[in-house]
């Protein structure tokens, strides 16, 4: 069932990509990076020696890192209320390729007793835009400053020096946009490097080369910057005969190669 669902989503992505260059489709590309920021909220589902044959001792999740490139294809449609633009994005699909790293250890400074997993990943995510605003930047003015410095001399006279910085005025008028996207879909992970408590590659034949997970989240964007929060649940085990999955929360920031301006 899982393989059939992923095959269907991949087929749908190719259909969308083939039509993305024709209106009413919009194409976006960008890079993203983030992690769990040493909170221990992402990684292997169990790190107890009794349950996980990959670890030599009871470990704790230390940190997770994600870096990737994405391609996004959004369907555009007209809306009745054109206050924030007559055209809005609706549903779409997002895919790409990235790198995930999950590390665990038995000390706060990442000692030699640790486990690390490196995965190449490919997500296929269905998106839906729940809010899109396009407008123009307002005029802004940053006032200048003046700093006075006084020096008293031996004859009790005082010399005052003034240092000024000019103000800055922006007339505004530039097109800007912001919006919110919800997404959900499968993620395929391929293990290309691993190490155990001694720092050597894990050579256990029951360690699976790949896994499938499902990921859902929300993306906020302002101009070309994305802020992304997601949760991943492993659907298949990374170890044969044991239910050990890759799960957890991720917080990412991304740079979109171009503005999402559709009006």
pLDDT per residue over 39-82, tens digit each?
Answer: 999 999 999 989 999 888 888 999 999 999 999 999 999 887 77
Q: Structure tokens of 233? A: 């649940």
Domain ranges of the chain: 22-256
Query: Where is mean pLDDT largest: 9-13, 51-55, 74-78, 226-230?
Result: 226-230
Cβ neighbours for 50, distance < 8 A, ≥ 6 positions apart? none
> So what's the pLDDT on residue 80?
78
What pLDDT does residue 105 have?
A: 87
How far is the C-alpha of 254 from the C-alpha of 221, rounded, in Å? 9
Q: Which of 24-28, 66-70, 80-84, 204-208 has the lowest mean pLDDT?
A: 80-84
20 has a pLDDT exceeding 50: no
Q: Is 12 helix (H, G, I), strand (E, B) or coil?
A: helix
Confidence category of residue 16, pLDDT binned at 50, 70, 90: low
Q: What is the pLDDT of residues 95-141, one digit of tens each?
A: 999 999 999 988 755 556 788 999 999 999 999 999 999 888 778 88
Q: How far is CA 138 from the centre of its chain?
A: 29
- Residues whose CB is less than 8 angstroms from the CB of residue 253 and which lie 6 or more positions away in sequence, other chains included: 32, 33, 34, 225, 226, 227, 228
Please state the rounded mean pLDDT for residues 199-221.
Answer: 93
The angle at the Cα of 54, spanning 211 to 56, to the nearest 5 degrees, equals 160
- pLDDT (tens digit per residue) in 147-192: 888 888 888 788 888 888 888 878 777 888 999 999 999 999 999 9
For residue 29, pLDDT over 90 is answered with yes
Instruction: Band the pLDDT of 83: cuts 50, 70, 90.
Output: confident
Q: Transcribe 147-161 into DSSP letters.
A: EEEEEE-TTS-EEEE
Ranking 123-127, 201-205, 228-232 by mean pLDDT, the lowest is: 201-205
| pLDDT in the model for residue 176 | 86
- Would you call 92 helix, strand, or coil by DSSP? strand
């Amino acid at each position: 069932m899982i393989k059939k669902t992923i095959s269907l989503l991949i087929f749908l992505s190719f259909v969308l990509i083939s039509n993305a260059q024709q209106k009413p489709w919009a194409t976006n590309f960008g890079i993203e990076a983030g992690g769990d920021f040493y909170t221990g909220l992402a990684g292997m589902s169990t790190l107890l020696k009794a349950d996980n044959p990959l670890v030599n001792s009871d470990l704790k999740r230390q940190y997770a890192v994600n870096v990737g490139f994405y391609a996004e294809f959004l369907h555009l449609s007209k809306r009745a209320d054109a206050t924030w633009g007559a055209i809005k994005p609706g549903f779409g699909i997002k895919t790409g390729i990235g790198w995930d790293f999950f590390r665990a250890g038995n000390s706060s400074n990442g000692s030699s007793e640790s486990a690390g997993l490196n995965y190449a990943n490919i997500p296929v995510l269905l998106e839906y835009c729940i809010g899109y605003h396009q407008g123009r930047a307002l005029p802004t003015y940053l006032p200048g400053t003046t700093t006075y410095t006084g020096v008293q001399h031996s004859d009790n006279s005082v010399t005052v020096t003034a240092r000024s910085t000019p103000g800055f005025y922006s007339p505004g008028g530039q097109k800007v946009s912001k919006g919110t996207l919800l997404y959900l879909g499968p993620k395929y992970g391929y293990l290309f490097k691993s190490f155990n408590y001694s720092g050597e590659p894990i050579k256990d034949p029951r360690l699976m080369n790949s896994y499938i997970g499902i990921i859902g989240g929300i993306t906020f964007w302002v101009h070309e910057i994305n802020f992304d929060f997601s949760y991943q649940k492993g659907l298949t085990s990374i170890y044969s005969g044991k239910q050990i999955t890759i799960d957890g929360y991720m917080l990412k920031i991304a740079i979109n190669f171009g503005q999402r301006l559709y009006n």
